[in-house]
Amino acid sequence: MPETFDDLIALGESADVTGWDFSWLDGRATEERPPWGYARLLAERLERASASLDIQTGGGEVLAEARVFPPTAVATESWPPNVAAATRLLHPRGVVVVADADEPPLPFADAAFDLVTSRHPATVHWAEIARVLAPGGSYVAQHVGPASAFELIEFFLGPQPEARRGRHHDDEAAAARRAGLEVVDLRIARTRIEIFDVAAVVYLLRKVIWWVPGFTVDAYRDRLRDLHDLIQRDGPFVAYSSRHLIEARKRA
């Protein structure tokens, strides 16, 4: 029997949104991956590092894919449920998880790490990244780019023309240079998202809370109903994610 609108809403509301694992969406949404394979690149860099810091690690899921870690390996996270999840996952692998508010300063000494990484950080404080990097060290990260998933965001919020420039790769590269870093690699990708039901939408907007700030089912039930009807009539809702890979090096 097909799931009703109310069934799908209840399903999305009851899903666990702790951590940064999106496997709950299997069969309900898909997203193309950027061509560079960030998890593989991260693992390769960790093998060569002596001291690493992963910023805003979420539940530690991506970092935990690495085969080996350097002698000193640290991760930060701000949201308490994610701190607990990352601790359970990473401590057995020898990675120390530090609760941090994601606001300057980072709780580490100058030049403490030869590798700093992050996947989809909500905020990027370039001066702090430069400070904790050792001379010759690198920041290697995959960032969310401009107007990512805005087809979905604007479905709920209406046109957001000023926000569309936010997180642009050129702006971020310029900010890295102002902090004294040399940008040695910058790659961009725009990839397809398909959403097959409204349960996936509720899950995403509960998990990625900055897409539709203050989202609740009650506040947006009418718009969720519109989206449900649209998917039922026309098939998957299509949006596009924006990503960039950036490597910035601290001069030796």
pTM as predicted: 0.90
Q: Quick one: pLDDT at residue 54?
A: 98
Quick one: which of 88, 100, 99, 32 has its CA closest to 64?
88
Contact 199, 12 (CB under 8 A): yes
Residues 1-24: b if buried by 16+ CB within 10 A, e if exposed = eeeebeebbebbeebebebbbbeb
Alpha carbons 123 and 131: distance in angstroms, whole number:
16
* CATH number assigned to the domain covering 5-250: 3.40.50.150
Q: What is the residue extent of each domain of the chain?
A: 5-250
Structure confidence by residue, pLDDT tens digits, 165-217: 999 999 999 999 999 999 999 999 999 999 999 999 999 999 999 999 999 99
pLDDT at 101 over 60: yes
